[in-house]
Amino acid sequence: MAKLTYIKAITDGLDQVLQNDPKTLIFGEDVGKNGGVFRTTEGLQDKYGTDRVFDTPLAESGILGMSIGLSLTGWRPIPEIQFMGFTMEAVDSIGGQMSRNRFRSSGDISMPITIRTPFGGGTHTAELHGDSLEGLFIGIPGLRVVTPANPYDAKGMIIAAVENNDPVLFMENLKLYRSMKAEVPEGHYTVPLDKANVVKEGSDITVVAYSAEVNEALKVADKLEKENISVEVIDLRSLSPIDDETIFASIDKTHKVVIAQEAQKMTGAGAKVAADIAEKDIMSLDAPIGRVAAPDSVFPFAMAENDWLPDADDIEDKVREILNY
Amino acid sequence: MAAEDKQVVDFAKIKSTMSDPYKKPIQVIDESGKIVNQELFDRFSDDELVTLMEKMVWERALHEQTMNFSRQGRLGFYAPTYGEEASEMGIASAMKKQDYLFPAYRDLPQLIQHGATVKEGYLWSKGHYQCYDYFREGVRAWIPQIIIGAQYVQAAGAALGIKKNGEKDTVAYAFTGDGGTSQGDFYEGVNFASSFQAPAVFFVQNNGWAISVPRSTQTAAETLAQKGVASGVPGTQVDGMDILATYLVAKDARDFAAAGNGPVLVETLTYRFGAHSSAGDDPSRYRTKEQEKPWFDRDPLIRLRKVLTDKKLWDQDKEDKLVAQYKDEFKQAMKDAEAAPKQKISDFLKHTFEVPTPDVAADIKKFEAKESK
């Protein structure tokens, strides 16, 4: 097994699906010769040709609308939206069109589209590059929204997403692209799209997190371990649907929960997790649900990002507050 | 620089002449029934002329019967097609079975000509999932689009898919109206198809009105046919009240795209004789009888009826019999539509994802229990 970065793990997964299924197509802005602005598709056009991996005109609604027409004619599109902020231009194609087509056709027509898109703060990008916009999309019936937090999941989930016959919004965290490396198996394997993962077992409190916040939560768990506080960390991986079963199994054991996300508190997946717990498993808690999220302002100017993004300190404070309730 | 310096670029001249190549709507018979282009007219056999007339009579009868059903409260949303018979049936007559059709909500007649049934059309209006059974029958047509513009980007994708599949003599058609040309997706669709030189044929049925907003508000461009030019897509206007001209132009457009020359854009000049929809739109709020009059004089049935009558190919008795026969068929289609099974929420849930998510699976159970009572 090789140690791969998060981004190389995605490239490796894309290589697998292009190799395994001749109907898969990768397209978007700069994904061809340039290999993507982050190099996620690097080398794929050389290997699979310009018919399978190609650049498009610069228009997000066109890219995703085209994906629908390609699906209808038998293709399996893997479009890239260069930054998640740009999905705003293509909300109809996602919410008004592709996600409704299985329903419209009573199950006859699939839209096996995987929309890859980078997001996430901490890399001091221009405006509308770092926003966590999952909150806009997790309320769309027929659409899966997933985000891996480590290289192993990144490869296994991109393969699973492409092989899935429903549209999947695949969110790739910008900050994680090159900041983490881990063992990634060669060849084909999948990670389920709708299963959360207990990434660290613990018994005193559960932290439910996703994407970059999983690593922040793990830092807290390691630190508190020295104080004999045992923190269980769950990586949601899937933001729609939410894997309640894994969360409930954990809080039935710890009786305390903190939900951490990078998105503003008014959006993101945390509110749905909190609502599910409140609705279906509230009696297993002996303290209120704790939440860690960014404040409800617009995503900040780059120089202020680090003051705005929730980090390990914020999670630690909230964990201590809930433990001492 | 002195203010009186001669300008470097004569924008005024460019502006006043830029639409000129597109302002020549093709016509074969004029509104008085006079053949204005004998050479083009002679391309049609007597049988072909009669078939085109029958299709327009069919669409007019469909409209009349559907409005009756609508007034009886037996339908939901319906967009009247009255006045647009030459445009819609002229184009539909040039389509081939293997073509992909991306209609908008006023394009049910073309959809039915392409293989959907009148019953499915009525179910679409009423709001029943069996309206899309034509997918299952292998009809290459997509939904009558409600989000105007979406059909253009999707047709561009289907056209690229056709090209990648290596399918010969096959194109993707997209329909919109004058209002639809203002949408961003309209431009993105035309431009994407052009960038990939994909076999798409884009139709703009300019019926003068986007609900209450006139064509003149949509754009200062003198024609909509020129809207493809910026993307490198050739376009033309055609008299959309003349089915012979519309058919010939639609056929040329299809042939051009199918031969691998890239997309084409056609603007048919037509008119919405009736309201925007059957749901309470009142044209007298925004247009006068005087404005409507010249367009009613251009009624596409009048001119072809006259030509065919002169040639002894048509008479009122024949038309009356056809209308009665068609209307009987539509009445039967409505009966069939009304006999469609009661819809189950559990079925909708089952078709939300291929593999239901846990929340959806729980809802399926809940609704199945309710529905079995």
Q: What is the CATH number of the domain that holds A245?
A: 3.40.50.920
A190 part of a folded domain:
no
**Bridge pairing between strands A290-294 and A2-5:** unpaired
Would the CB atoms of B153 and A243 count as touching at under 8 Å? Answer: no
Residue A291 CB neighbour total at 10 angstroms = 20
- Whether A75 sits inside 8 A of B164 (CB atoms) is yes
Q: Which pLDDT belongs to residue B35?
A: 97
Map residue B147 onto helix, strand or coil: coil
> Among all residues of B, which ones are annotated catalytic?
272, 276, 286
| CA–CA dist B353, A144 (Å, integer) | 9
pLDDT at B367 over 90: yes
Residues A235, A128, single domain; the answer is: no
Q: Which H, E and C letters describe chain A, residue by residue?
A: CEEEEHHHHHHHHHHHHHHHCCCEEEEECCCCCCCCCCCCCCCHHHHHCCCCEEECCCCHHHHHHHHHHHHHCCCEEEEECCCHHHHHHHHHHHHHHHHHHHHHCCCCCCCCCEEEEEECCCCCCCCCCCCCCHHHHCCCCCCEEECCCCHHHHHHHHHHHHHCCCCEEEEEECCHHHHCEEEECCCCCCCCCCCCEEEECCCCEEEEECCHHHHHHHHHHHHHHCCCCCEEEEECCEEECCCHHHHHHHHHHHCCEEEEEEEECCCCCHHHHHHHHHHHCHHHCCCCCEEEEECCCCCCCHHHHHHHCCCHHHHHHHHHHHHCC
Work out the widest C-alpha separation in chain B, in whole angstroms. Answer: 88
* DSSP code at position B180: G
Please report which confidence band the pLDDT of residue B278 belongs to, taking 50, 70 and 90 as the band edges: confident
Please tell me whether residues A232 and A85 are part of one structural domain. no
Q: Taking CB atoms and an 8 Å cutoff, what residues of chain B touch A59?
A: 184, 188, 191-192
Q: At what angle do helices A244-254 and A270-280 cross, to 10 degrees?
A: 60
* Best to test chain B binding among A48, A73, A237 (most B CBs inside 10 Å): A73
| pLDDT single digits (tens) A59-87 | 999 999 999 999 999 999 999 999 999 99
Amino acid (1-letter code) at residue B6 = K
Co-location of A63 and A163 in the same domain: yes
Give the pLDDT of residue B150: 97
In chain B, where the domains are located: 15-341, 342-373
Rounded mean pLDDT, A95-120: 97
Split into its structural domains, chain A has a count of 2
Q: Compute the distance between CA of residue B99 and CA of residue B113 in angstroms, rounded to an integer.
A: 12
Per-residue pLDDT for B291 more than 90? yes
Question: A148 and A22 in one domain?
Answer: yes
A222 and A247 assigned to the same domain: yes
**Mean pLDDT for the stretch of residues A99-127:** 96
What phi and psi, each to the nearest 5 degrees, are found at residue B148? -60, 120
Q: Residue B151's pLDDT band (boundaries 50, 70, 90)?
A: very high
For an interface test with A, give the residue of B99, B131, B352, B360 to mutate (most A CBs within 10 A): B352
pLDDT at B99: 98
CB contact under 8 A, A244 and B358: yes
DSSP B269-287: E----S-S-TTT--GGGT-
**Residue A18 lies inside a defined structural domain of this protein:** yes
Contact B354 A70 (CB under 8 A): no
**Arithmetic mean of pLDDT, A115-141:** 96
Checking if the pLDDT of B88 tops 80, the result is yes
CB B145 within 8 A of CB B105: yes
Q: Which two tokens stand for residue B255?
A: 């042939």
**With an 8 Å Cβ cutoff, are A72 and B154 in contact?**
yes
Measure CB to CB from residue A107 to each of B185, B188, B350 and give the nearest one: B350
- Does one domain contain both A137 and A244? no
Given an 8 Å threshold on Cβ–Cβ distance, is A65 in contact with B147?
no
CB contact under 8 A, A70 and B188: no
Rounded to the nearest angstrom, the gap between the alpha carbon of residue A206 and the centroid of all alpha carbons in its chain is 20
CA distance A74 to A79: 15
| The predicted structure's pLDDT at residue A1 | 83
Q: CATH number of B15-341: 3.10.270.10, 3.40.50.620, 1.20.1250.20, 3.40.50.970? A: 3.40.50.970
Contact, B185 vs B250, CB < 8 A? no
DSSP secondary structure of B273-332? -S-S-TTT--GGGT--HHHHHHHHHT-HHHHHHHHHHHTTS--HHHHHHHHHHHHHHHHH
Residue ranges of chain B whose CB lies within 8 Å of a chain A CB: 100, 102, 129-130, 132-133, 135-136, 142-143, 147, 150, 152-162, 164-165, 172, 184-185, 188-189, 191-192, 195, 347-348, 350-354, 357-360
Average pLDDT rounded to a whole number, residues B347-351? 97
Amino acid letter for position A63? I
Mutation site for A-interface testing, chosen from B163, B192, B194 by largest number of A Cβ within 10 Å: B192
Residue A230: C-alpha distances to residues A197, A247, A290, A319, B366 (Å): 17, 16, 17, 11, 39
| Nearest C-alpha neighbor of B245 from the set B257, B253, B255 | B253
**pLDDT value at position B61?**
98
Which residues touch A150 (CB under 8 Å, ≥6 apart)?
A6, A176, A180, A182, A214, A235
Q: Tell me which of A152, A184, A216 is where a domain ends.
A: A184
CB–CB contact B192 A66 (8 Å): yes
**pLDDT surpasses 80 at B215:** yes
Rounded CA-CA distance B69/B253 in Å is 36
Do A65 and A134 fall into the same domain?
A: yes
The closest of A267, A269, A322 to A296, measured between CA atoms, is: A267
Report how far residue B259's alpha carbon sits from residue B168's, in angstroms, rounded to the nearest whole number. Answer: 8
pLDDT band at A108 (very low <50, low <70, confident <90, very high): very high
- As a whole number, mean pLDDT of residues B16-34 equals 95
Band (pLDDT 50/70/90 cuts) for residue B3 is low
Of A184, A213, A244, which residue is a domain's last?
Answer: A184
* A188 assigned to active site: no
> Are residues A223 and A290 part of one domain?
yes
Whether residues A69 and A180 fall in one domain: yes
H helix runs in chain B, sequence order: 11-17, 38-41, 46-71, 85-92, 108-113, 118-126, 133-136, 150-165, 184-195, 215-218, 243-256, 289-297, 300-310, 316-338, 345-350, 358-371
The answer to whether residue A192 is domain-embedded is no
CB-based contact B60:B89 (threshold 8 Å): no
Instruction: Name residue, tokens 């009868």.
Output: B61
Tokens 């065919």 sit on residue: B308
Which residues in chain B have their CB less than 8 angstroms from residue A109's CB? 135
Q: What angle do CA A224, A230, A236 make, to 5 degrees?
A: 100
Q: What is the pLDDT of residue B5?
A: 80
Give B158's contacts in chain A (Cβ within 8 Å).
69-70, 72-73
A13 and A106 within one domain: yes
CATH number for the domain that contains residue A158: 3.40.50.970
Among A25, A63, A68, the strongest candidate for a mutation testing the B interface, having the largest count of B CBs within 10 A, is A68
Direct distance between the N- and C-terminal alpha carbons of chain A, in angstroms, rounded to an integer? 45
Give the pLDDT of residue B2: 63
Residue A263 has pLDDT above 70, yes or no: yes
Q: What distance in Å separates residue A205's CA from the closest CA in chain B?
A: 25
Same domain, A228 and A171: no
| Angle of CA points B185, B190, B195, to nearest 5° | 120
* pLDDT exceeds cutoff 80 at B4: no
The SS3 call for residue B268 is: strand
In 3D space, the residue among A166, A249, A157 whose CA is nearest the CA of residue A210 turns out to be A157
Residue contact B161–A109, C-beta within 8 A = no
CB B268 within 8 A of CB B17: no
Question: Chains A and B: how many Cβ contacts under 8 Å?
Answer: 136
Q: Which of B312, B365, B299, B371 is nearest to B341 (CA)?
A: B371
**Domain that residue A315 falls in:** 197-323
pLDDT band at A194 (very low <50, low <70, confident <90, very high): very high
Q: Identify whether A62 is part of a domain.
A: yes
Residue of B nearest to A52 (CA): B164
User: Is the predicted pLDDT of residue B170 greater than 90, yes or no?
Assistant: yes
Q: What is the pLDDT of residue B6?
A: 82
Torsion over CA: A267, A270, A272, A274 (sign): negative
Please list, residue by residue across B86-117, b when 16 or more beta carbons sit within 10 angstroms of its beta carbon and e when fewer do: bbbbbbbbbbeeebbbbbbbbbbbbbbbbbbb
Where a domain ends, among A154, A184, A214?
Answer: A184
Tell whether A164 and A284 lie within a shared domain: no
Q: What is the pLDDT of residue B343?
A: 97
Beta bridge partners of A171: A117
CA nearest A319: which of A198, A239, A232? A232
Which phi and psi (to 5°) does residue B27 adopt? -140, 145
* Residue among A62, A108, A110 minimizing CB distance to B188: A62
Above pLDDT 90, what percent of chain B?
A: 97
Tokens of A228: 């004999």
Enumerate the residues of chain B whose CB falls inside 8 A of the CB of residue A25: 164
The verdict on residue A189 lying in a domain is: no
A191 falls within a domain: no
Would you give the distance in Å from CA A256 to the centre of its chain? 25
Residues B238-254 have a mean pLDDT of 98
On whether the CB atoms of residues A261 and A164 are closer than 8 A, the answer is: no
Task: Say yes or no to pLDDT of B176 above 80.
Answer: yes
Taking a C-beta distance cutoff of 8 angstroms, is the pair B170, B258 a contact? yes
Residues of B in contact with A51 (CB under 8 A): 164
